[in-house]
Amino acid sequence: MKIIDEEKLNEIRTSVDIVDIIGSYLPLAPKGKNFFGVCPFHDDKNPSMSVSREKQIYTCFSCGATGNVFKFVMDYENISFLEAVKIIADASGIVLDITNHKSNFEVKYHDLYEMYNISKKFYQNNINTESGKKAKEYLAKRNINDEIIHKFEIGYALKEHDLLYKMFQKKGFETRDMLNSGLINKNDYGYNDLFYNRIMFPLYNLNGQVVGYSGRIFDNDDTAKYVNTKETVIFKKGELLYNYHRAKEAVKKTKSVIVMEGFMDVIRASSIGLDNVVASMGTAITKNQALLLKKLAPTIILCFDGDQAGLKATIACMNELVNIGVIPQIIRLKDNLDPDEFISKYGKDAFLEILDNPTNMIDFKIECLKNDKNLNNSSELANYVNEIIGELNKINDDVLKEITLKKISNETGLELDFLKSKITKRKSKTLVKKTNLVKRNKYMKAESYLLYYMLQNKEVIKKYERQITYMPTDRYRYLAREIDSFYHNYQTINVADLISYLGNNQMLIDTVGEIISLELKDDCSLEEIDDYIKTIREYNVNYECDRLTKMMNKEMDSEKKALIAKQIIELKMKEWENDK
């Protein structure tokens, strides 16, 4: 049962223009009757996403992503369908309350989310008690005041080892779920809390729900400075970015996001008014995280720790971003300091000054490549130039290439034209939707062409109802049934509304994308439609005749053989009469 009925969904969808909505997330350029942009759903470097104002849908001709305005916002923002509908409703001034809605995933793992919600309140309450006084004093010494503690929901795990476990027991949670949460451990003596006598920093998912913790020592010499929650079904480090849910709003204003390594760096940055900051939480940036950053802001600034480990992390993150067509800017901090330490030592103004003057990625790489090279040595100079050429060949920015080549020409004395000749000419990708690469026989063509015109014309749907009993290809058959069902419910056909109607059936949504990307002519005669139907029915008759023939060949009884032969003849005669 849907929370919002189809009529309300259609009202909300038609209240906006998909070109305006997608255009607010990424640049779109008109081309013919559609608009094109770089697809945010794969490592796209050339504009391969087509947005149709006429049909109010988008389709990527490279990765196959397809949908209406709800689907785009849902996938781009990494939110549920209803949350995406709410965003569109708000944009058009339509009142919609989805406060009590939970996704299927949240429902399935309700107890895990609830345990983290309870633990968060427990730890927050502890830090404001007499027992949490020393933890609060420690934070105060690090210039983390009550406002920051409240904003980042920092708490304290008491010294006793099983308080949270006992609380979960009283709440009726299953022991299995407690262990799966990562908050409770089992040893030879029973069950204990993972965290005790530590300052608790909550870790969040993309929607701002607490799904993990990092607990810090503050009053002893425990070698484990931080203890972190293990990965669980609701906590996957490589798919999250710390502070993402808060940074989203700030990024809309600044159009830039600053990437740091640790959550303390983010907290310190926030203390000086920088909220457009996220952190990788100390792990190497994954492709998923890089795609999140790409969707988050047009300008990405990397500000990792100033030591050698931070340099390696900067280069690794930079390379991951370049692989998906993003050219980040770089900040390197002096004295091997991390951002938290730098801001604490040199202050807000010093950090903001550095932030206002980031290094271009190519200039940064040039400095790295130049390091430890003797450019008076011909062999080392040649290696240096070749490495720079290799880096330039990875990017699409022709202006940046030109500027860099001029610098290298002036620095090395090599002719500019010679350097340009070493740049690989990038071939523009032919936009071919991957599903179209499937080899189509004449029957699949007939099915897909018929579906194309079913999406355009209700008269074709009526013909399908009357004359087609079975589509050979599974996904085409299922889609045809859904189109027919949609038409019967609403007495009309609209691709954008059909996509909402299909809900979470990704296979059928992808099939819609495959069909509409065929880009057949807008008008089709009834004779052509009849030809598609005839071809599909020919397949069905041939298939049934083949099946009966195999059955007849195996049959030993002559009378039964004759009956099967008669069925085959009747099938062929019936088809012949229909074709007249």
Q: pLDDT digits over 533-558, tens only?
A: 888 888 877 777 777 788 878 878 88
Q: Which two tokens stand for residue 94?
A: 């339509």
Coil, helix or strand at residue 211: strand
Mean pLDDT of the chain, nearest integer: 88
Q: What is the pLDDT of residues 403-427, one digit of tens each?
A: 999 999 999 999 999 999 988 875 5
pLDDT score for 448: 92
Is residue 18 a contact partner of residue 499, using CB atoms and an 8 Å limit?
no
Is the pLDDT at 170 greater than 90? The verdict is yes
Is residue 547 a contact partner of residue 555, using CB atoms and an 8 Å limit?
no
Is the pLDDT at 159 greater than 60? The verdict is yes
Cα–Cα distance for residue pair 256/265, rounded to 1 Å: 17
pLDDT score for 547: 79
Is the pLDDT at 428 greater than 50? The verdict is no
Mean local confidence (pLDDT), 144-172:
95
Is the pLDDT at 434 greater than 70? The verdict is no
pLDDT score for 103: 66
Q: What is the pLDDT of residues 258-276, one digit of tens each?
A: 999 999 999 999 999 999 9
Cα–Cα distance for residue pair 390/394, rounded to 1 Å: 7
pLDDT score for 258: 97
**Measured between alpha carbons, how far is residue 316 from residues 65, 290, 309, 312 in Å?**
28, 11, 11, 6
pLDDT score for 100: 63
Is the pLDDT at 524 greater than 90? The verdict is no
pLDDT score for 439: 56
pLDDT score for 45: 75
Instruction: Find the range with the poorest average confidence among 137-141, 436-440, 551-555.
Output: 436-440
Q: What is the pLDDT of residues 451-494, one digit of tens each?
A: 999 998 999 999 999 888 788 888 999 999 999 999 998 898 99
DSSP states along 322-348: HHTT---EE---GGG--HHHHHHHH-H
Cα–Cα distance for residue pair 359/330, rounded to 1 Å: 5
Pairing of strands 66-67, 184-187: unpaired
Confidence of residue 61 (pLDDT cuts 50, 70, 90): confident
Confidence of residue 6 (pLDDT cuts 50, 70, 90): confident
Show Cβ contacts of residue 385 under 8 Å, excluding neighbours closer than 6 positions: 408, 412, 414, 419
Is residue 244 a contact partner of residue 206, using CB atoms and an 8 Å limit?
yes
Confidence of residue 99 (pLDDT cuts 50, 70, 90): low
Residue, of 224 and 501, whose pLDDT is higher:
501
> Among residues 319, 312, 306, 311, which one has the least CA distance to residue 351?
306
Is the pLDDT at 119 greater than 50? The verdict is yes
Helix or strand holding residue 216 (H, E): strand 210-216
Plot region of 425 (φ>0 → left; ψ -120 to 50 → alpha; else → beta): beta
Cα–Cα distance for residue pair 511/476, rounded to 1 Å: 8
pLDDT score for 568: 74
- Over pLDDT 70: what percentage of the chain? 93
Is the pLDDT at 435 greater than 60? The verdict is no
Half-sphere exposure of residue 77: CA atoms within 13 angstroms, side-chain side: 29
pLDDT score for 431: 41
Mean local confidence (pLDDT), 134-159:
95
Is the pLDDT at 561 greater than 80? The verdict is no
pLDDT score for 419: 92
**Per this entry, what is the length of the chain?**
580
pLDDT score for 579: 57
DSSP state of 139: H
Mean local confidence (pLDDT), 497-517:
89
pLDDT score for 554: 81
Cα–Cα distance for residue pair 516/448, rounded to 1 Å: 9
